[in-house]
Amino acid sequence: MNHELDFVSWLTQQQTGNRRVGLGIGDDMAVLSHDGGLLLLSSDMMLDGVHFDTTVHEPQQIGRKAIACCLSDCAAMAVKPLAATVSLAMPHQCELLWMKKLFSGMQDIATSFDMAIVGGDTTSWTGKLAIDVCITAQPWPGVDPVTRCGALVGDNLYVTGKLGGSLLGRHLTFQPRIDEARNMTKTLGVNLHAMIDISDGLSLDCWRLCNASGVGCTLDEQLLETIIHADAKRASKEDGRSALEHALSDGEDFELLLATPAKDVEGLALMVIGKVTDTSPGITMIKSNGSAQTLRPEGFVH
C-alpha cells in the first residue's frame, strides 16, 4: 500500500519471541511484563515542516502537541500515563528563551495529566527542529490495556468526537481522550473490545483496527455526515474536496475509534458510524442512496 505501511508490516514480522513482551510492534503502545505487572511504552517523533511549522506556530503550542500525541496513545489503550523522556534536535540558531517556551508547553499538559517529564537528550544541528517523545504508562487497576485486535462481528463502531479539518489549528490544541477512555473502561468493562486513536485519518485507522482484528466493517454515509467537524466544512470551501473526504482522511483529529456492542454505550458521549462485519479486512461504505462502495483507506502516511 505504501512504503511506511509496508515497512511497519515487515518490522512486525521480524519480531523475535521474548518472555517480557506481551505486545510488540503493531499497536499504539508496546506491552511489557514487569515485576508481576505490566508496563507500556510508546514513542512519537515530530518534525518541523511536517507536524508543525516553527515559522508560524508558537513554541508552547509545538511543545504541547509533542506530549499530547503520546498521551493520545495512552488514551487509545485506556492506560494511565506515568512519565516521558524528550529528545530534541535543535537548529543551531535556536535561542534559549524559545527552548524554554517549548518546554513550558510540554510541562503544562504533562502536569495536567499527572505525568512527569523525567529526562531525555538535547542535540544541535544544521537541520530543522525534531522532537522525539518516549512515554511510559501502566494499566488502571483491574483493567487490561485495550488493543486494536479485539473487534468482534456485530460490534458497533463509535468515535468520541467530530472529524476533519484539524490542520486549520485543532491539531495543536486537541485534548487527549485519557479521561474519556477511563470512563469507557468503567462503563463497558471487557465489552470495550478494540480501540485506536485517529491520528492518520478515520478510513486508514479504521482499516488498521479491522486488519488487526481480522474483520471487516461497514460505515454508514448518513451517520458519517453527523460526525463532520465544522473545520472540515471550512477546509472543503478552500480546497474543493468534500467535507466527508476531509473527515475520512485528514488525520490529526486524535479522537478515539472503538468497537463495542451497541447495548452497552448508554451514558457515554459516543457517535456511531458503522458496524463490524465478518468480511475479509476492508471497509464498505453504505451510501445515502443504499448502494455499497468499497472505501479505500486513505490518510497521512510518511
Give the pLDDT of residue 1.
45
DSSP 3-state of 7: helix
Inform me whether the pLDDT recorded for 302 exceeds 70: no
Mean model confidence pLDDT for the chain = 94
| Model confidence, pTM | 0.93
Looking at the domain 17-139, which fold is it?
60s Ribosomal Protein L30; Chain: A; (3.30.1330)
Q: Closest Cα partner for 146 from 77, 71, 67?
A: 77
pLDDT, mean of residues 96-113: 98
Residues 263, 189 contacting (CB under 8 angstroms): no
Give the pLDDT of residue 263.
83
Please, what sign has the CA dihedral across residues 26, 27, 28, 32? negative
Domain 156-295: homologous superfamily in CATH: PurM-like C-terminal domain (3.90.650.10)
Q: Does residue 114 or residue 19 have the better pLDDT? A: 114
Q: Are 17-139 and 156-295 in the same CATH fold?
A: no
C-alpha cell read off for 55: 515559522
Query: What is d(CA 238, CA 226) in angstroms, rounded to the nearest whole number?
Result: 21
DSSP category for residue 144? P
Inform me whether the pLDDT recorded for 13 exceeds 90: no
Inform me whether the pLDDT recorded for 173 exceeds 80: yes
> What is the pLDDT confidence band of residue 2, given thresholds at 50, 70 and 90?
low
- Residue ranges of domains in the chain: 17-139, 156-295
C-alpha cell read off for 178: 485519557
Least confident of 16-25, 134-143, 188-197: 16-25
